[in-house]
Amino acid sequence: MSLPLNIFKNKNVLVTGHTGFKGSWLSIWLRQLGANVIGYALDPVNQEDNFSRAGLKDNMVDIRGDIRDSSLLNKVFKKYNPEIVFHLAAQPLVRYSYEHPKYTYEVNVIGTLNLLEAVKSCKATKAAIIITSDKCYENQEWIWGYRENDPMGGYDPYSSSKGCVELLVSSYRNSFFNPKEYVKHNKVIASVRAGNVIGGGDWSKDRIIPDCINALKDNREIVLRNPKAVRPWQHVLEPLGGYLMLGAEILRNNTKFSGAWNFGPMEESIVSVEEITAKVIKYWGTGSYKALKSSSDFHEANLLNLDISKAKFNLNWKPRWNVDKAVEKTVEWYKNYNSTDVYKLCVNQINEYCSK
């Protein structure tokens, strides 16, 4: 990366949600940077995902706990004294949020509240990066990208919960972690919003890449719910690289990096679900798809885009892989996870990304 990340070496770093898709990739990257990684999360969804296949349980401190359990979370902070926290523990699915709205708000909002309280109480913690979503914005179906100071919103419970998290983080930043009063608390809090993230090891329900891979593995036709929906697609390493750069700057006691940040893809990577499916088939080597004639019972945004000017100019971060490269590296993982060392596969992709 353009900013040295060796600052993480020998640092105690807490990753909530480390058993999840993004959390597992972030934990591997931090391990490669020499960090002492402590993970706090529920059990992995299955044994096919990135956390399980990469054998991460044996390569970090692996703590299983519910983010809603404030007592256990505080014990983890007291025992390990993390200097920086990456908060990824969440209920991440839109359709699931319609079926389980109360659980979604409890995990995403109250869980983040518990995390912020633990950060506030732990003297050792200097920085916290709260991962939310591009869906936190009040979606107007604009053709231009949302900026960090645009209004929060959310049509569905998931999106709304992420908007609530952003408001919660902003409140805590103003009330307890104000950059102007840094000498009193010695903490910097930032929130980050990414686009539609793809990569190896994601088997979540109702996500286009897992849906494609499951169908292709079974020689079935891929079925598309919302083929014309346009999304900002990016490989998982893109936003994670941004989070790490941001965290590194904050650890250098730079209070100007407090606040909200977008980490989206380049403009040509903002394409439809149908286009991304065609690219998956291309790199897989075979397959076909069809679109459902009936519309979904649930509301889904048709157009979503992020303005990444702030990260590009103030953090010197920019996307490295276009949508074709992102799909190629994603398919590479799924083609090889049954026949190779998955931890090494992930490390090789991280090294390739960093060397560009």
Asked whether residue 125 is assigned to any structural domain, the reply reads yes
CA dist., res. 325 & res. 131, Å (int): 24
Structure-token match 């999840």, residue found: 20
330-353 residues labelled b (16+ CB within 10 A) or e (exposed): bbebbbebeeeebbebbbebbeeb
Q: In whole numbers, what is the pLDDT of the chain averaged over residues?
A: 93
CATH code, domain with 196: 3.40.50.720
Report pLDDT for 2.
46
Asked whether residue 302 is assigned to any structural domain, the reply reads yes
Beta bridge partners of 47: none
Residues of the chain with pLDDT under 50: 1-2
Structure-token match 């919660």, residue found: 168
CA dist., res. 243 & res. 249, Å (int): 10
- Cβ atoms of 204 and 242 closer than 8 Å: no
Report pLDDT for 286.
95
One DSSP character per residue, 221-234 reads PEEESSTT-EEEEE
Asked whether residue 1 is assigned to any structural domain, the reply reads no
Beta bridge partners of 291: 224
Asked whether residue 339 is assigned to any structural domain, the reply reads yes
DSSP state of 201: T
Domain with 37 in it: 6-355
- 141, amino acid identity: E
Asked whether residue 310 is assigned to any structural domain, the reply reads yes
Among candidate residues 162, 133, 122, 106, the one with its CA nearest the CA of residue 38:
122
Distance of CA 352 to the CA centre of its chain: 20
Among candidate residues 74, 184, 196, 83, the one with its CA nearest the CA of residue 133:
196
Asked whether residue 281 is assigned to any structural domain, the reply reads yes
Report pLDDT for 145.
85
Domain count, the chain: 1
Q: Hey, what long-range contacts does 327-330 have (CB within 8 A, 24 or more apart)?
A: 327/198, 327/233, 327/276, 327/279, 327/280, 327/282, 327/283, 328/283, 329/199, 329/200, 329/235, 330/198, 330/199, 330/200, 330/209, 330/235, 330/280
- Cβ atoms of 44 and 65 closer than 8 Å: no
Asked whether residue 101 is assigned to any structural domain, the reply reads yes
Dihedral of CA 15/126/175/194: which sign? negative
Residue 247, classed as helix, strand or coil, is helix
- The string of pLDDT tens digits covering residues 12-59 is 999 999 999 999 999 999 999 999 999 999 999 889 999 999 999 999
Asked whether residue 299 is assigned to any structural domain, the reply reads yes
Task: Write down the pTM of the prediction.
Answer: 0.95
Neighbouring CB atoms inside 10 A of 49's CB total 22
Neighbouring CB atoms inside 10 A of 80's CB total 18
**240 contacts: CB under 8 Å, gap ≥ 6:** 22, 25, 26, 29
Among candidate residues 234, 284, 300, the one with its CA nearest the CA of residue 22:
234
